[in-house]
């Protein structure tokens, strides 16, 4: 879905206040009968969730509190997100690592068992098909999660290449975890609250690590990761235990961790400087242009071997023509597609995500500009509704991240 979910949330809040549910459905390009529902759907509705169409699912954009308050509460206490619309899958077999390395930029072979990384699925031109968090569970088992809006094309892409790989004798198979739900627990209280529900010592479990363990009586896949910049976890739980786990997490927090919707999730990830696929990352954008060079393993930079490697390695050597950067600006909040100009009024790029930062109390945005104009401190003009507003290129993340790493 193009455009900022934060702004969409504000628009939907106003529409729902007027009882205009048909306009909301039109705005989101779907009808209720066509939408898939997660196992937590009734739980969301019972807790005041304002449900909207998103990537073919009916998902909560917010609850009874405002998106502003919800964002701040995540940073101060914590948030519980239903992200079951995302697609978890496992690749298994002695050649699973070799197969995946044909499709992504990560050095999967170098990952220690039980650790993972952000990566990008690339196409033949080096563009991003999707971004994904991948985990090497063991040397012959990879667990990964792909974006809901990219599910169909991602699975078709993986399946097509898997058939060719297996036809040449490769040993790899897959399982799509539609029997599981995915809950994200984020914020400073995430670890102490989750610790109440598991015997495993979470103080020895660091950012990017993965375990299979018992949580609240269910066998869960636990990854210490998230999409907010805060410490936190993504919990893959058997769907029949999803509601029970969500209730237990909220109860153990004594009301401090709140159910949180897509609106606050978008402002949180923007403050953390994280890409939203479909806005900041697309089929024609390479990982180098997107500022994700760090995700390309050292061995992969030397050997290539993934789709579009020739384009990406050339950009690594020569530098890209455009780069993703952050901005702070005056005037109305920038929106996706807002034009970016230099001080002389020349077009130098476009905003891909923008909104008002609840934590910083100022406008923040990210977008792409011509190389050479990407350095922090560069003054720009952002055109909103025909009017030029002052802006400055700013380092990301806008809000410092708090990932839990060994000291």
Pairwise CA distance, residues 318 & 220, whole Å: 44
Among 140, 196, 124, which residue's Cα sits nearest to residue 172? 140
Instruction: Please report which helix (H) or strand (E) contains residue 354, including its range.
Output: strand 347-357
| Among 219, 220, 215, 185, residue whose Cα is nearest residue 200 | 215
Please give the structure tokens belonging to residue 293: 């060079």
Binding site per annotation, positions: 234
Give the tokens for residue 233: 């976890």
Percent helix, strand and coil across the chain, each to the nearest 5: 30, 30, 40
On whether the CB atoms of residues 232 and 224 are closer than 8 A, the answer is yes
In what side-by-side order are the strands of the sheet with 141-146? 115-122, 128-138, 141-146, 87-92, 173-176
Annotated binding site for substrate: 234
Instruction: Report the alpha-carbon distance of residue 97 to residue 171 in Å, rounded.
Output: 10
- Give the integer Cα–Cα distance in Å for 187 and 190: 5
Distances in whole angstroms, Cα of residue 183 to Cα of each of 155, 161, 216, 247, 338: 22, 30, 13, 12, 33
The three-state (H, E, C) secondary structure of 220-279, written as one string = EEEECCCCCCCCEEEEEEEHHHHHHHHHHHHHHCCCCEEECCHHHHHHHHHHCCCCCECC
**Pick from 231, 206, 210: nearest CA to 220:** 210
Q: Strand locations in 55-179, DSSP E? A: 57-62, 78-82, 87-92, 115-122, 128-138, 141-146, 173-176
What whole-number distance in Å separates Cα of residue 131 and Cα of residue 121? 6
């Amino acid at each position: 879905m193009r455009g900022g979910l934060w702004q969409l949330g504000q628009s939907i809040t106003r529409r729902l206040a007027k009882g205009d549910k048909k306009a909301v459905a039109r705005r989101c390009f779907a009808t209720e009968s066509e939408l898939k529902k997660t196992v937590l759907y009734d739980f969301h509705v019972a807790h005041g969730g304002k449900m909207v169409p998103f990537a073919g699912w009916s998902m909560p954009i917010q609850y009874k509190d405002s998106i502003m308050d919800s964002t701040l509460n995540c940073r101060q206490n914590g948030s519980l997100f239903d992200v079951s619309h995302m697609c978890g899958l496992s690749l298994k077999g002695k050649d699973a690592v070799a197969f995946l390395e044909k499709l992504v930029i990560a050095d999967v072979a170098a990952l220690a068992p039980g650790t993972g990384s952000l990566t990008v699925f690339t196409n033949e031109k080096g563009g991003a098909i999707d971004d994904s968090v991948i985990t090497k569970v063991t040397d012959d088992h990879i667990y990964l999660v792909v974006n809901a809006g990219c599910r169909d094309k991602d699975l078709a892409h993986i399946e097509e290449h898997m058939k060719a790989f297996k036809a040449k004798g490769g040993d790899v198979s897959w399982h799509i975890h539609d029997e599981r739900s995915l809950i994200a627990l984020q914020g400073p209280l995430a670890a102490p609250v989750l610790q109440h529900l598991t015997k495993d010592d979470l103080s020895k479990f660091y950012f990017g690590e993965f375990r299979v363990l018992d949580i609240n009586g269910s066998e869960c896949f636990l990854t210490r990761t998230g999409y907010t910049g805060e410490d936190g976890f993504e919990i893959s739980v058997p769907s029949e235990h999803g509601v029970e786990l969500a209730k237990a997490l909220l109860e153990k927090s004594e009301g401090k961790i709140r159910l949180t919707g897509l609106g606050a999730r978008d402002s949180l990830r923007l403050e953390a400087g994280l890409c939203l696929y479909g806005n900041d990352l697309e089929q024609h954008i390479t990982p180098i242009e997107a500022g994700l060079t760090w995700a390309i393993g050292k061995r992969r930079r030397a050997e290539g071997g993934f789709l579009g490697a020739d384009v990406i390695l050339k950009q690594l050597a020569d530098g890209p023509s455009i780069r993703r950067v952050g901005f702070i600006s005056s005037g109305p909040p920038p929106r996706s597609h807002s034009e970016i100009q230099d001080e002389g009024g020349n077009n130098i790029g476009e905003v891909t995500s923008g909104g008002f930062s609840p934590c910083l109390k100022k406008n923040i945005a990210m977008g792409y500009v011509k190389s050479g104009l990407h350095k922090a401190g560069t003054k720009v003009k952002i055109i909103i509704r025909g009017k030029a507003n002052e802006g400055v290129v700013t380092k990301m993340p806008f809000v410092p991240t708090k990932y839990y790493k060994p000291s």
